[in-house]
Amino acid sequence: MSRTRTAILAAVALVAGTAGAAVAAIPPDADVAAIPCTVDYKVQNQWDSGFTAAVTVTNNSAAKSSWAVKWSYAGNQKVTSGWNAKLSQSGTAVTAANESYNGTLGTGSSVSFGFNGTYSGSNALPTTFTLDGVTCNVDDGGSGPGPTDPPGPGTKVDNPYAGAKVYVNPEWKAKATAETGGSRIANQPTGVWLDRIAAINGVNGGMGLRAHLDAALAQKGSDQLVVQLVIYNLPGRDCAALASNGELGPTEIDKYRTQYIDPIAAILADTKYAGLRIVTTVEIDSLPNLVTNVSPRATATANCDTMKANGNYVKGVGYALNKLGDVPNVYNYVDAGHHGWLGWDDNFAPSAALFKEAATAEGATVADVHGFIVNTANYSALKENHFTINDSVNGASVRTSKWIDWNRYVDEQSYAQAMRTQLVSIGFPSGIGMLIDTSRNGWGGTARPTGPGATTNVDTYVDGGRYDRRIHLGNWCNQSGAGLGERPQASPATGIDAYVWMKPPGESDGSSTAIPNDEGKGFDRMCDPTYTGNPRNNNNMSGALPNAPLSGHWFSAQFQELMKNAYPAL
């Protein structure tokens, strides 16, 4: 997918903040094509002692089969981990060299990589970059048009996360900060969940949608900023679960349209917010249920059969995409489950077809879909490094192992990239991008395997090497042993617009026991640590943590466990 960058970094006349981007001061008559290379270095997120940076290098010289970008820091910044490049550091000097899969860099082509780092004091931006020893961002005297100006308000960009900060929810930040050690991640951006009609104006004195958007404007300043909203209130919501049931009954589609979607769309369309990039995650856990949990499947539920028959999931998603997609600065991402839900042959293509059906319902078109999101509020590992779907042990394919159980995918990134290809093949725009929720899929700590399992058989091989330590892929509620995953970052891999924390870490998936409430949330035995399972998890134990509150409520014990098991470690 194209990733056009419009900002470039000059070796002179830099204007830089403590967190943000180095901005080029290139003469308006400069010929950008005559500049041998440009480097765009942005600090996407920054906290008290660390930061996440994204770097894009564009080669305007002869094509390359390998490359290395170098720069030096003026302060005590240290690179701690990275992606899409081999990063090394000696003193203040940093080198980023290509990986085996991205060494080719044609004339006019760009490559992106990113990293996490630490600092103390100030985090001054580097001022000079070289590509293979040639200083970048220096004009050789040619004439012609200057670089493209950044998009104006309401102008859609290919990847809303590229070159942008992401909104930090002050309410989540306060809860995280109040936890011991929580300040280490309190400045990470998370999704704002609009999980009932009352959430639009604020629940129990909390921030409503306008309050969040106003706070986002304050955080934005002169930068680009993404606000992440979760649209989550379909009629008969989450038909295969109880903990996340919603307020609207199966037939209340008109109420969904007029009292939920229409008011949200009206607020988002306010010109006051036209300068924000508003990302919506549209109705998680809805459409996938119409594939996997309906008759004649053994995993069918009566509620899911009802929702398939009345069509209100498809109608609701289509209506939301249509109305929200009419707002010029809204980027709709539709929920596409996760690999442990839709990765099997009989689920994968039918799910993509259903997504298209919803995207062309109620006046919506595929153009209203900017992309898809996977693993929302789930725990599937981002990348399993100790085995692949093509491995075999003693002549038996790993697909026959109990864990993989004939799935085509072993992790979320491979699933997301394959689903994107499938969606484009059936008529979605070629520019769609994927988001992966990495808020709780780190699986670090002492239980994280450091190599493949024993080759006694396929089960020992897979179970001994897998990062995902759940008892079963179908387990979804407050999973014991889970950790924070990759920090939010833009353009981390081919076809992936961003890793995001759409589920705010520390918010419960559901209560461990029945708790009376006025939020429409039931008690699901999958949240009970004593539950022995059902057909959807092959009758395994639930793996849930004890003493959990209602879904969406703060769960301190889970938050602490997520920090303890974070990977990369905090």
Q: What is the pLDDT along the chain (570 residues), one digit of tens a residue?
A: 332 222 333 333 333 333 444 433 333 444 444 578 888 888 877 777 888 888 888 888 888 889 899 988 888 999 998 888 899 998 888 999 998 888 888 888 888 888 888 988 888 888 888 898 888 874 333 333 233 344 555 568 999 999 999 999 999 999 999 999 999 999 999 999 999 999 999 998 899 999 999 999 999 999 999 999 999 999 999 998 887 888 999 999 999 999 999 999 999 999 999 999 999 999 999 999 999 999 999 999 999 999 999 999 999 999 999 999 999 999 999 999 999 999 999 999 999 999 999 999 999 999 999 999 999 999 999 999 999 999 999 999 999 999 999 999 999 999 999 999 999 999 999 999 999 999 999 999 999 999 999 999 999 999 999 999 999 999 999 999 999 999 999 999 999 999 999 999 999 999 999 999 988 788 999 999 999 998 889 999 999 999 999 999 999 999 999 999 999 999
Give the domain-ending residue among 116, 135, 154.
135
CA distance 530 to 517: 22
Whether residue 210 is contained in a domain is answered as yes
Q: Give, in order, the Cα–Cα distances in Å from 21 to each of 43, 76, 447.
A: 6, 18, 38
Whether residue 25 is contained in a domain is answered as no
Structural domains of the chain, count: 2
Same domain for 534 and 415, yes or no, is: yes
Whether residue 196 is contained in a domain is answered as yes
Same domain for 422 and 528, yes or no, is: yes
Same domain for 393 and 268, yes or no, is: yes
Same domain for 533 and 384, yes or no, is: yes
**pTM of the predicted structure, to 2 decimals:** 0.75
Q: Which residues pair with 90 in a beta bridge?
A: 93
- Is 465 in contact with 452 (CB distance < 8 Å)? yes
Domain span at residue 41 reads 32-135
Same domain for 250 and 290, yes or no, is: yes
Give the domain-ending residue among 95, 116, 135.
135
Whether residue 152 is contained in a domain is answered as no
Query: DSSP H helical segments within 373-528, as ranges?
Result: 412-425, 458-465
Q: In this predicted structure, what is the pLDDT of residue 555? A: 98
Task: Identify whether 528 is a catalytic site residue.
Answer: no
Same domain for 350 and 408, yes or no, is: yes
Q: In this predicted structure, what is the pLDDT of residue 154? A: 53
Same domain for 276 and 374, yes or no, is: yes
Task: Identify whether 509 is a catalytic site residue.
Answer: yes
Same domain for 105 and 192, yes or no, is: no
From the list 507, 440, 499, the residue with the least C-alpha distance to 195 is 507
CA distance 57 to 39: 4
Whether residue 195 is contained in a domain is answered as yes
Strand 225-231, strand 165-166: pairing? parallel
Q: In this predicted structure, what is the pLDDT of residue 153? A: 54
Whether residue 414 is contained in a domain is answered as yes
Sheet strands side by side (includes 37-46): 37-46, 50-59, 110-118, 78-83
**Tokens (6 digits) for 39:** 């480097």
Whether residue 335 is contained in a domain is answered as yes
Q: Which of 40, 195, 238, 285 is catalytic?
A: 285
Beta strands per DSSP E along 375-460: 392-393, 396-397, 433-437
Q: Give, in order, the Cα–Cα distances in Å from 491 to each of 111, 209, 487.
A: 10, 27, 12
Give the domain-ending residue among 135, 150, 181.
135
CA distance 332 to 317: 11
Q: In this predicted structure, what is the pLDDT of residue 152? A: 52
CA distance 376 to 435: 9
From the list 75, 187, 168, the residue with the least C-alpha distance to 125 is 75
Same domain for 207 and 125, yes or no, is: no
Q: In this predicted structure, what is the pLDDT of residue 127? A: 82
Same domain for 189 and 79, yes or no, is: no
Beta strands per DSSP E along 342-429: 371-374, 392-393, 396-397
Same domain for 210 and 108, yes or no, is: no
Same domain for 169 and 131, yes or no, is: no
Whether residue 442 is contained in a domain is answered as yes
Instruction: Report the CATH number at residue 362.
Output: 3.20.20.40
Q: Which of 238, 468, 497, 509 is catalytic?
A: 509
Instruction: Report the CATH number at residue 128.
Output: 2.60.40.290
